[in-house]
Every structure is written in structure tokens, then in C-alpha cells.
A and B are shown apart, each in its own frame.
Chain A
């Protein structure tokens, strides 16, 4: 199949970017979207041009490295799909495909389609964990956990940290990302020990990092490649408000 690509090119964080058009012919329909970009890059390198830079790694939808804004959607318009899992057979011969980087104040562009998502790491560092040390923990079966809650925790924990929720949100909000992490631990007895502290610290960090706030459009849920539910945000809100009243921490 033949396609036309409109790709955002930007040399580095400070330079001004622009769209550049590329015509790409004979793209195999079985190729993944990233393999299509590989083909383009191979041609660019041979022509002596700078290839298109984008983040990618596992190419099986779990590492969360890839993330392109394709035709108006993070990871393209298909549900529960990461960019690397998007195949060219989903496009039509002659299509024009617009590829943009994640755009959000918290995700500055590094080069072309590659953005800096370290703000997500900083969010986790604020408290997205259970503060146990290695060793000295009870037997794994010492605390039975309701299967239903364990399953919900797993749903929340399946976040791959790609940042599509932030990219999709008109407010550049990371509430789904934080809500999922807060929920995972709030649903588990091990996590409840420090849940009041955790939610307050993570929300404070989220605000400090310049993410927007939630206006409940649920675009994050619609675009999340792992289908993480916004009810996790509701759980976080609940946790946060209860913590603010019952167990507030000093700033």
C-alpha cells in the first residue's frame, strides 16, 4: 500500500518544529506502524537525511515506551492498542497519516516525536509504592486478599506508563495515571497502611509538576491502551478527600 505521512519534525527541545510530508510506497499491510517508520527511516538514512526519532522498545505493547499521536488519537484510534501494536492493515491505500508527538506542558519534546516523560517517574517517586525494605516481610499467604479486590488491583496495575492519558486529556492531566497507582495499593491490605499519606503526596506532586486537573471528560479512559477505568480516579478522589479530613499530612 502507498501512504502519505505528515510527521512532526523538531531538531531539539528548543528549536521550532514543523510538519514534513513523506510519500511512502509499497508498505506491507502486515507491518506494524513502527515497522513502517523503520522503512521510512531506512530510506531517509540512505538519502543522507536525519531519520525520524521516536521512542519504542519492546514492540509488544507492554513497555510503554512508544507513543505517537496518530490522526488525532494517542496510539491511533483503535481501542486497547499501543502504537507498536497498530498494524498498517488498519489503514487504507492512499491514506494521509498525521503523526504528532504527545503534547502537554509536562512532556517537553526532546526530538521529533520523542518527548520527555520523566514527570511520570517523579509522580511514582512521590509515593507510588509500598515502603517495605528488602527482607523481613511476612509469608506471602499470611494476608488473604479478596479475589475481587486483587483483580481490581491488577486492572489498575496494568498501566504501562505510556502517558497516553495525559496526551489525550484536554487538560494535560495525569489523574488516570495517579488514580490507577493509588487504587492498586488502596485495594490491597498491604497498601492500605500508608494509603492516606500516599494519595496526598502523589496528588501534591502531580500539581507541582504542572499537570492539569480532571474535568471528567474520560478521554483518558477512552484512549488508554490498557483500558484502565476512570473509576480509579473516583477511588483516588474518595481516598484523597477522606485522607484530607481524617489523616491530613503537613506540607
Chain B
């Protein structure tokens, strides 16, 4: 049997999930009470999974790094959530959502998973409305939709510019309901430090209580990792400050394969960087591209004057503006997928047409929309985004065009999972951004929320039972088993080692430099040479970290230690990302290798050699990991060069 068994049910695509559910094993109510499940993370995937497990009757232990489950970074998603409801009657269907997602992912996702995602998308909307999520509505009282990048239909449901917040609060409400009932036990301000594997199965975790600094042990019959993506390996990203890849990395080191790590998404509409001390980048919802038009000056000389602050954007007349997305992609225009929009912005800036004092920005203009819809309508749709922009940049976007530039936003890669969302470690499941499964090489806008909730509400509650049905005779594990002892000891040693370095550089300094290597050499476009350089530079930086980092040795709460532990993992993860990007001799979706492009600068896939999932098996920090390939079979879509022209 192949090392990577994707366990895709047989039968026609549209019937796979129904068939799976009909044939899977279930756990009866009396036995559910005897089974414990650990969930790491309380974002959309974690909270919805934990709540659903609780409702089914399992004993659930949930951990989050923040002070409250409601803070998870899903909360920051702005634009919306896709579903194939076809309420606007514009030709949408499950099949079309599936097609768009597969195509948007540049044919590097598994058909069966994506189809299931499209299939359950409608139930998610029903569920959220029933939970009281205040989605936008028309005057008829029915739900409103907007369009989003990569789609020709309006299938995105939204709650102003705060859709992620509202969906997360819905899931948080469901979770709170279960906490009140006692089926779920919540452990806030805890960070996972290691996975405990007993006899080849995930059976517990070691966590650090961030308040006391103590290590704690928890056992369970299954573990779900839903701790989000690893975008902060780039230091500057739209991710929250505590977002990290450490839970993923611990699982990777304990035998879970890491899939397609190089597939990271650069989001086109972020507020440009303004200084060295900057801690994070702020995303402006992609929905802005519905009404905003992206441009740079046609004349490079004008761009220079703009950079030097000698003229203003509003001084450039209409016919001297290059609406480059509309020019290059007439049929999708400003609504091309994220990777395409991001690279196009970089291309213009590299060619000398960039604006802002850094030359690393393009304009997103609402003049036309304000004329067409009126200021009030624009304000109603995007008011909070405009406010946010003005607060950060100190310019009024109703008057002067916004400036945007791409930034790291989402990681499509992640732990390899089969159809059941189970990793290569038995009993270890991965949900939401943590897993690699549904977005291929590029995620479409408004699909992250869909996937997180799909995994948590509608997939894991089924597939988890199929696994747990075999575990009903297993007693809860003793947390004093040697495997727990060993895991805790290893964590303790790692912490002691970091604290004992007592060097002369703060963690953020190293993280910032790692970010610079990643952004310059493993970022929006990569070359064989840049990647090779990056691998060496990351290795050197890692060495520097372990000899020169300075972390204060204080009892209890130690935020610097938290950061250092995460950066130590990023320093290993960055290398794997570069290795994967180097292995993949093609361009696809968010992965753009300069050597592999079409004559007009589009990503050039190599379906013959690279239509596979690259899953890496850990072999030690300084050793090359083993590459396992899961061939992707496309039986229901025709592989085409993505074309948004």
C-alpha cells in the first residue's frame, strides 16, 4: 500500500461523500461519553469542530493560545464566505463552485475533497443563519450576495466587512453553549508544545500554561490540530501576532507529513509597508476589488514624481492611468484570482511604475464607483475598510485613491490529510488552514471561511467517528505514561536551552531577518538560485538564533520565550518551504518560479511531472526530509491553462 493513502471513496464524484457517510462506522451515544477528543485552536475550524463534537456527546478538551476562544485569527477575515446557493439566480451550482475552486487552485487540489467542500457549502450558510449570524440582507429580507475574485457568479455571503468575526462568534457561541453544558472543557492561554504519540497513535499533548509557565499533560483518544496557518514565517504578514506554525511543526516532527509547504498565498490588497519597526501588515478585503479599479501611471516619469511626493494621484488624468488588470485580463478585470493580481502588481512595481515613497504600491481607486453608486452606497459597503485605511495611512480614500501592495496572507500548504482529514499519524486530524487539502496552489477569496467551517461542522464530526469507532475499548490514557514523560522532558530541555543562550539579539530581530529572506527569495516569485541561497541563509540564521538569541529568564508569564519558541520552529519551516519550492519545477497558483512562465508572463504548469501533492516526512532537523508523492487524478475536470483574459 502506498504510504499516502488518500482513502477517497469509490464511485462518481458527486456521490462519494454521500456514500462515505452511508458506509462509515459510527459510535453509539453511550460510547461517545467515554471518548475524549483534544482540539488545538478555536478558530472557525477548531471552534466549530469542538462544538459539534460536544453536541454529539464526546468529551472535548479545547486549547487556545489567547485569553479567549473568540480571539482566534479567523476573526479578522473580512470579505465573506462562498456557497453554491445560487440565490441570485446567476447560474451557480455545486459543480460550478467545485470547478472554480479546482481551477482557482491551479489544479493542485484533490477533486474529491474540493467537491465535498462545494457540496456542504450550502449547509454552512444555513447553519450560520440559524446561529444568528447577521449576514447582509436586501430590502426583501433575504440574504444578499457579492462577487469575489476568481468567480463569474455572486456567491459570497457577507456581514459588512466583518464576516470572519461574525462567523467566528457564531462558532464561539456554539462552543460556549457546549462549555456551559459541560461537554467541552476550555483551556485558554495554553500553547501546544508537543504531540504525544503512543503505539503509533496520537494520544495526547503537552501544553504550556502561558500564565504560570508550567507544562501540562492532556490525554485523549484523538487529537485535532486547528491552529491556523504558518504565514508568519515571513514575519510581515496579515496574520495575528500569535499565529504560528509550531503545532504543525510538532506534528511534523512526530511523523505527520507536511504537504505542499511552498504554496503560500500573497494577498493583493494590503496596506503597503511603511517602516522597519512594523510588526504586521493590514489586509483590506479583496471585496474592494469589486468596485475599486487598480492602476499605476502609464508614464514611469509620473510614477517617479509620485514617489517623490511632487504630485498627487489625483493629478494624473484619466488617459494617463494604466488600469493594468483590466488591460491584461479583459474578462475578469480587477477580479482575477489573488495570485494573478499580486504578481501583476509586483510586475508593475518592478518595472518602475510603483507609487508610495517606497515604490512598492499601486492605486486602488473608487472614483468611478463613487460616481456610479454614490458616496453613501460605497460607504455602506466598505465604510469600515475606508476608515481602517485612513487611520493607518492618514489619507481619505474617498478623495485620494488607496494604495495597496501584496502581502503574505494564507498558507495553502499544511499537514497532509486523507479524505477523512486524518494525517499520516493515526488519530491525528488536521482542520482548517492547518491542512493542505482543498485549495491546491491558490485559495480563492471567501473560501477559507468556507473550508474552516466545512471541516469543523460537517466533515470531522463524521470522519472522526469512523476512527473512534475502533477506539471504544481504549481506556483514557494515564498521563504518567513514559511517552508523556519523555515528551514533556524534551520540551523542558528545549526551553532551558533557549533560556540559557542569553545572547545579544532579540527574537524579533531574527524573525524579521528570516522574514526578509523569505519575502525576497521565497516570496511572490522564486528562482532556483534564490531558493538555494535562501536555504543556506536560513541555516546560518538558525545557527545564529541558537547561539545569540536573548530571552529573559523570568518566572510565569514570559512573552519573549513564547516568541522564541515559535521562531525556532519557523527557522526550520522556512527551509522546508524553500526546499519544496525548489523541488517543484513549475509555476502554479501561489508558487511562481520565474524559470517557468508563459511568454506573456503567466504561470506555466507542468501537469505531466508535477500533478502531485508533495508530502514530506521528517528525518531530523539537519537532514533532508523524505518526499512522498500523492498523484492527483483529475477525472472530472479538464486540466487547462488558467485563463482569466
Q: Which residues of B contact A134 (CB under 8 A)?
A: 48, 51-52, 55, 127, 174, 457-458, 461
| B458 & A111 in contact (Cβ 8 Å cutoff) | no
Q: A53-B557, A62-B162, A110-B211 are in contact. Are A135 and B127 (CB under 8 A)?
A: yes
CA distance A124 to B132 in the complex (A): 14
| A144 & B142 in contact (Cβ 8 Å cutoff) | yes
Q: Does A188 contact B (CB under 8 A)?
A: yes
| A124 & B176 in contact (Cβ 8 Å cutoff) | yes
| B159 & A154 in contact (Cβ 8 Å cutoff) | yes
| B71 & A64 in contact (Cβ 8 Å cutoff) | yes
What is the distance, in angstroms, from A50's C-beta to the closest C-beta of chain B?
5
Q: Does B310 contact A (CB under 8 A)?
A: no
Q: How many A-B residue pairs have CB under 8 A?
A: 219
Q: Does A241 contact B (CB under 8 A)?
A: no
CA distance A80 to B164 in the complex (A): 20
Residue of A nearest to B85 (CB): A140
Contact of A45 among B75, B132, B177, B506 (CB under 8 A): B506
Q: Does A207 contact B (CB under 8 A)?
A: no
Q: A31-B275, A147-B137 are in contact. Are A129 and B177 (CB under 8 A)?
A: yes
| A58 & B76 in contact (Cβ 8 Å cutoff) | yes
| B172 & A34 in contact (Cβ 8 Å cutoff) | no
What is the distance, in angstroms, from B269's C-beta to the closest C-beta of chain A?
13
1/0 per residue, CB under 8 A from B, across A127-159: the answer is 111111111011111011111001101100110
What is the distance, in angstroms, from B247's C-beta to the closest C-beta of chain A?
16
Residue of B nearest to A38 (CB): B279
| B71 & A63 in contact (Cβ 8 Å cutoff) | yes
Contact of B75 among A56, A62, A116, A120 (CB under 8 A): A62
| A48 & B71 in contact (Cβ 8 Å cutoff) | no
Q: Does A12 contact B (CB under 8 A)?
A: yes
| A118 & B131 in contact (Cβ 8 Å cutoff) | no
Residue of A nearest to B129 (CB): A140
| A85 & B173 in contact (Cβ 8 Å cutoff) | no
Interface stretch, picked from B61-69, B441-449, B565-573, is B61-69
Q: A38-B508, A134-B174, A161-B70 are in contact. Are A85 and B134 (CB under 8 A)?
A: no
What is the distance, in angstroms, from A164's C-beta to the closest C-beta of chain B?
15
Q: Does B330 contact A (CB under 8 A)?
A: no
| B67 & A116 in contact (Cβ 8 Å cutoff) | yes
Residue of A nearest to B73 (CB): A58
Q: Does A232 contact B (CB under 8 A)?
A: no
CA distance A114 to B160 in the complex (A): 31
Number of chain B residues close to chain A: CB under 8 A: 86
| B166 & A157 in contact (Cβ 8 Å cutoff) | yes
Q: Does A93 contact B (CB under 8 A)?
A: no
Residue of B nearest to A161 (CB): B70
Q: Which residues of A contact B126 (CB under 8 A)?
A: 137-140
Contact of B66 among A12, A63, A157 (CB under 8 A): A63
| B188 & A57 in contact (Cβ 8 Å cutoff) | no
| A117 & B68 in contact (Cβ 8 Å cutoff) | yes
Interface stretch, picked from B28-36, B298-306, B487-495, B548-556, is B548-556
What is the distance, in angstroms, from B510's C-beta to the closest C-beta of chain A?
12
Q: Does B277 contact A (CB under 8 A)?
A: yes
Q: Does B274 contact A (CB under 8 A)?
A: yes
Q: Which residues of A contact B134 (CB under 8 A)?
A: 150-151, 153-154, 157, 184, 188
Q: Does A220 contact B (CB under 8 A)?
A: no
| A125 & B180 in contact (Cβ 8 Å cutoff) | yes
Contacting B at CB under 8 A, from A28-43, are: 28, 30-32, 34-35, 38-39, 41-42
| B125 & A51 in contact (Cβ 8 Å cutoff) | no
Interface stretch, picked from B100-108, B385-393, B607-615, is B385-393
Q: Which residues of A contact B211 (CB under 8 A)?
A: 110
CA distance A114 to B48 in the complex (A): 28
1/0 per residue, CB under 8 A from B, across A197-231: the answer is 00000000000000000000000000000000000
9 pairs of A and B residues whose beta carbons are closest in the complex: A144-B141, A129-B173, A137-B130, A154-B134, A140-B129, A153-B134, A125-B180, A57-B240, A134-B52
18 A-B contacts (beta carbon < 8 Å) = A41-B560, A59-B282, A64-B70, A65-B71, A81-B391, A85-B388, A110-B211, A121-B176, A121-B186, A124-B173, A130-B173, A135-B127, A137-B126, A137-B130, A140-B125, A141-B85, A150-B136, A188-B132
Supply 14 further A-B pairs (C-beta < 8 A) apart from A121-B176, A190-B131.
A41-B560, A56-B241, A60-B280, A63-B70, A65-B66, A110-B557, A126-B180, A129-B176, A134-B51, A137-B129, A138-B130, A140-B126, A154-B159, A188-B134
Query: B-contacting residues of A (Cβ < 8 Å)?
Result: 11-12, 28, 30-32, 34-35, 38-39, 41-42, 45-46, 48-51, 53, 55-65, 80-81, 85, 87, 89, 110-111, 114, 116-118, 120-121, 124-135, 137-141, 143-147, 150-151, 153-154, 157-158, 160-161, 184-185, 188, 190-191
